[in-house]
Chain A
Amino acid sequence: MEIAYFLGCIMNNRYPGIEKATRMLFDKLDIELKDMEGASCCPAPGVFGSFDETTWATIAARNIAIAEGMGADIMTECNGCFGSLRECNDMLKENAAKKDEINAILAETTDKQFAGDVNVRHFAEILYNDVGLDKIAELFNTNLDLNVAVHYGCHFLKPTAEVGIEESAENPTILDELVEITGAKSVPYENKMMCCGAGGGLRARDIDVTLSYTKEKLDAMAAAGVDAIVNVCPFCHLQFDVGQTEVNEKYGTDFAFPVFHLAQLYGLAMGLDAGELTLDAQLIDAAPALAKIAKE
């Protein structure tokens, strides 16, 4: 199996440990991750999609066309990239007039054309549906005895009518199941399905509103008593890492929940250390959670 690996921006340009863990995981699963040479920003659905749909769709279509040239489906481990590329892919496959319009711009500016013959898939969904929980669990050598708050984020499952990974996003289980094979326990918490607050251009435009979201999430996680936060989106990841320190600064709180992307959590379960997963470069210290793992 070959997959066109779409990096995006935040993961590879801020949290490379996520990329490292993903490459190691897929290597062990014998799935080839092929680099999408010259790919760009997806571009971000809430921000770019809010500015100019045509620019957004053309840049997204160019990225998809790179994967089409490789003859492979796209995998991304960012909800935002997934949202943009999936939405654009669906739109251009369904709307011939739109496809012609975008292809005309691509013809003028690149050597690429959107054909509509690949799918856009999320890392977690590929693991769940194509690999399967049992096969993933075989790779693990470390039991992660942690209580974690699973954060789904928004664009992984929603809009469910278009994405189709889960029938409803009110009470999904896919990510909890993927987390719990590591030995970690997914603890229920209030507003679990709520947004981290960073999306839609809000973090750039009005950080106070964004932090108000994040604080509401962190308060609920604290009430549930978790050791760490697990996500499948580097932007949510950044918001819980950088944003958590910003919340502490603004509200005088002392939240200290280490933040793991699912790939990093799997890295820990495979026995990788904090340095390889660049956890030591994150703002929130992962040491308390790591110490708890080491003790077991």
Chain B
Amino acid sequence: MSVLDRLKSLISGTKKDIDENLSNEANQEKPEESIGAEQTSSEEEIKSDSETNSKEEPSKIEVPVTEEEITPVVAEAEPEVEAEPVEEEAEAEVEAEAEEEIEEVSAEEVSEEETEESVENVVEEVSDEEVSLENEDLEDDTSDDEAEEAEVEEDDSEENEESDNMTLLKENDVYSMDDIDKEFTQKFIDAGLETVDHCFQCGTCGGGCPSGRRTPYRVRQIVRKCLLGLKEEVISDPALWMCTTCYTCQERCPRSVQIVGIIKMARNVAAQAGYMADAHKATGSFVIKSGHGVPINDKTKALRKAIGLAEVPPTTHALPEALEEVRAICAACKFDELIGFNMETNELE
């Protein structure tokens, strides 16, 4: 509880600052068009944005800008740099992070070269940029296209959880008490996963995680969010499903946190809330239909017969009454409803 209290005070403090910024901004920018308004709304909805956009609107995902002074100069090079990760995200092909990092590095190298080539230009633009930064990043300056773009990018990178290439926390990574669902945390405790509370965030888990080095899956963050009760953020993140349950994290955890159990429980909640992939529903449907996640086929029947095994193994495949028991269990647990399976048509809906 003390963690929540501390979080609460942290939130209320920071939130006040932001409210001030917003009213400040509102006074300054009246006549100007859309961009300021966009920023206002993105400030207010930063939570929901980071959830929905990072998942469904990959166009928001950009390589975070690490050096503001350079940014305006890089403007030309950026579309290329950004284009690739965006496409990859859209196709849910999560590429190795290393690749992104390399791209980012090369972008920085390019920008450094360009910086040298157009020093004067930079000096002008930098001063513009600095002025706007002093005004809490939010001041609108539509006369300067590049500065405008830089500001938009800052917002986007703040919203972008998945490509967290920056090491500095953003001021706008703020949660409100509305994001916290204590019942979500309680689910872990009730399920015997009270070790969620033992985690001291050392990061050993992520250090050994084979998924974390090729996908946006950040096991340490998820464990923390589960403890804090950030339910929506945890269950709506597709990265939650990038764990193969290999237990490397749990083996190495110095606090013996039952990490894999926590991930599976979080997935249970996600599935209940409708975040289940069609392919997983299909796997579930095979078990309802045949009792097996991987049912037998004609080729294997022939193989079995050829080597002197029973053509059909003595499982639910051979015993209809056994299959009925499995189906009855699925119905009693409402597993059919969970995956949208119609027992009468015997198909997924």
Chain A contact residues, CB within 8 Å of chain B: 7, 9-10, 12-14, 16-17, 19-20, 23, 35-41, 43-55, 58-59, 62, 83, 95, 105-106, 108-110, 112, 154-155, 158-161, 168-170, 191, 193-195, 197-202, 204-206, 208-210, 212-213, 216, 275-276, 278, 281
Contacts and interface: CB of A to CB of B under 8 A. Distances in A.
A109 B325 contact: yes
30 contacts: A7-B313, A7-B315, A10-B294, A12-B300, A13-B313, A16-B304, A19-B309, A35-B314, A36-B314, A36-B315, A38-B315, A38-B316, A38-B321, A38-B325, A40-B323, A43-B287, A47-B280, A47-B283, A50-B268, A51-B267, A52-B338, A53-B264, A105-B329, A109-B331, A154-B244, A155-B245, A194-B248, A209-B214, A213-B214, A213-B244
Contacts of A199: 244-246
Contacts of A55: 329-330, 333, 335, 338
Contacts of B279: 204-205
A51 B244 contact: no
A285 B329 CA distance: 41
Nearest to A207: B279
Contact of B276 (A17, A51, A106, A195): A51
Contact of A37 (B246, B251, B263, B322): B322
B264 A50 contact: yes
Nearest to A205: B277
Given A46-B264, A48-B287, A154-B245, 17 more contacts: A9-B293, A38-B316, A38-B321, A40-B322, A43-B293, A44-B283, A44-B293, A52-B272, A109-B325, A109-B332, A159-B260, A160-B251, A197-B210, A204-B280, A206-B94, A209-B242, A275-B306
A201 B283 contact: yes
Question: What are the 5 tightest A-B residue pairs by CB atom distance, in nearest-first order?
Answer: A38-B322, A158-B247, A109-B328, A195-B246, A40-B291
A53 B264 CA distance: 8
Interface in B221-243: 241-243
Given A55-B333, A204-B277, A20 B307 contact: yes
B93 interface: yes
B309 A16 contact: yes
A193 B210 CA distance: 11
Contacts of A154: 244-247
B250 interface: yes
Given A7-B313, A212-B214, A41 B293 contact: yes
A37 B314 contact: yes
B277 to A, nearest CB: 5
Nearest to B331: A109
Interface in B124-138: none
A81 to B, nearest CB: 10
Interface in B251-291: 251, 256, 260, 263-265, 267-268, 271-272, 276-277, 279-280, 282-284, 287, 291
B92 A206 contact: yes
Contacts of A108: 328, 332
Q: Which of A10, A55, A112, A275 has the most CB of B within 10 A?
A: A55
A159 B210 contact: no
A13 B245 contact: no
B264 A278 contact: no
A38 B117 CA distance: 76
Contacts of A38: 314-316, 318-319, 321-322, 325
B297 interface: yes
A210 B246 CA distance: 12
B211 interface: yes
B296 interface: yes
Contacts of A200: 241, 243-246
Contacts of A44: 283, 293
Contacts of A208: 93-94
B335 A52 contact: yes
A67 to B, nearest CB: 13
Contacts of B186: none
B256 A161 contact: yes
Given A55-B333, A202-B242, A195 B210 contact: yes
A10 B250 CA distance: 27
Contacts of A48: 284, 287, 293
A259 B331 CA distance: 38
Given A13-B295, A40-B292, A50-B267, A158 B322 contact: no
Nearest to A217: B210
A51 B214 contact: no
A170 B251 contact: yes
Contacts of B321: 38
Given A41-B287, A48-B284, A53-B268, A62 B294 contact: no
A82 B215 CA distance: 27
Nearest to A54: B333
A44 B283 CA distance: 10
B210 A51 contact: no
B214 A20 contact: no
B332 A105 contact: yes
B192 interface: yes
B339 interface: yes
B79 interface: no
